[in-house]
Amino acid sequence: MTAPSTPPVPSERGAEIGRRIGVGLMYGFWKPRVLGAWRVPAAGPVIYAVNHSHNIDGPMVMGVAPRPTHFLIKKEAFIGPLDPFLLGIGQVKVDRSTADRTAITQALGVLDNGGVLGIFPEGTRGEGDFAALRAGLAYFAVRSGAPIVPVAVLGSTDRPGRLIKALPPLRSRVDVVFGDPFDASDGSGRRTRKALDEATERIQKQLTAHLENARRLTGR
């Protein structure tokens, strides 16, 4: 019986190409203001925990972050020509309706290789206030030992654009605030359901505090 093959780890080079594309698009169409990017560790595995209230939040973080990012993205976004494009720039396709072992293996591979994994811990686009977190972020943080960097994207939903209602107005300001990295585990090495639930609670407190601070800093 043949053992199942290990899915390939998303390309770091591809993610860097994605970052460069993001730089051109995000700074070309909007006016990002980036605060705290210096807090992102310069090397080693990192998890960005990003609030999610608009479709441009992921591309915005990809474009302004100091390191190339591999985001976990719902499989529904991989349609038509976007499928090979997103895979080519190192993004991870995830089936949210099941425990997607391929996506989990690829995401852990990114972290094992010292890369940056981007996660929307709320699981889907909503208010972007970190009010309800899924357990996935805690799992990846505890399993890999990678620090979490909270990221707040503010201003993407202030008002619709005049030309394209689904996008923020062209040349409007969008703030991206990076917080201090923190360790989600309790140091025990436990990966039980209880340990992950406790880690999720700790994470939520940190992310909520970061969002409140980001709103104070930006006046949003």
CB 52 within 8 A of CB 122: yes
What pLDDT score does 1 carry? 46
Low-confidence spans in the chain with pLDDT less than 50: 1-3
The letter for the amino acid at 144 is S
Q: Find residue 48's DSSP bridge partners.
A: 118, 149
- Tell me the C-alpha distance between 182 and 132, whole Å: 19
Q: What is the tens place of the pLDDT at every residue in 129-144?
A: 565 567 789 999 999 9
Residue of 197, 181, 184, 153 lying closest to 35 (CA atoms):
153
Give the pLDDT of residue 160: 61
Tell me how far apart the alpha carbons of residues 4 and 17 are, in angstroms, rounded to a whole number: 30
CATH (one of 3.30.420.40, 3.30.360.10, 3.40.1130.10, 3.40.50.300) for 33-218 = 3.40.1130.10
Q: What is the pLDDT of residues 137-174, one digit of tens each?
A: 999 999 999 999 999 999 877 666 565 666 888 889 99
| Region for residue 173 given its phi and psi (left: phi exceeds 0; alpha: psi -120 to 50; beta: otherwise) | beta
Predicted confidence (pLDDT) per residue in 118-128, tens digit: 999 886 655 55
From residue 2, how far is each of 5, 7, 99, 101 by CA, in Å?
9, 15, 22, 18
pTM: 0.91
DSSP-H helix ranges across 91-174: 101-112, 136-144
